[in-house]
Structure 1
Amino acid sequence: MGKYSDEFKHKVVKEYLEGKLGYRATAKIHGIKVYSNIDSWEKVYGKFGQEGLTTKKHPVSYPVQLKMDEVLQKWCSPSLWANPPYDFRVFKGRMSL
């Protein structure tokens, strides 16, 4: 869960959109330490409506064994070793997967 509830964010954005106060003043009244949060919320609200302000649930957590199986399958694949510099993205002395 985020630091601020969905209802709180909606209330703050609505108050800001009424046009009486700016970001800083609205943040100070509601005890929001980072006033740019209101700017972000306002942009999301403008694009997606109230649904955009809802806290997203975290993705499913996968078991460790499933992750290990996927890594082993990738590493044991013959196609991985056919062209290592490309598959490992080895460029200019740096390596990443």
Structure 2
Amino acid sequence: MAKEMSELLARGPQVQATKAAAGAKKYELSKWKYAELRDAINTSCDIELLAACREEFHRRLKVYHAWKSKNKKRNTDTEQRAPKCVTDYGTHTHCR
């Protein structure tokens, strides 16, 4: 009996890992729009769907950050939103 229980306990993590892998592939969310992902996250009670939405969101975020760093301009002066006079003088009341 103890041997059978130890086999069941040892098999448990394998079964859980298999279920998790199957659950992650259960939903194909790559074609979903961002708004659909957002709505599913905000309204769904399905734990597997929420996990799949989270993974898809983070996948898209990684792709965006990779694209942003790849296409970042070399000159950082043109990327500033504040006028140069604000950063030079430390005031934003007026530029001269």
Provide the TM-score with structure 1 as the length reference.
0.27
Structure number with bigger Rg: 2
Bigger RCO (CA 8 Å, 6+ sep): 1
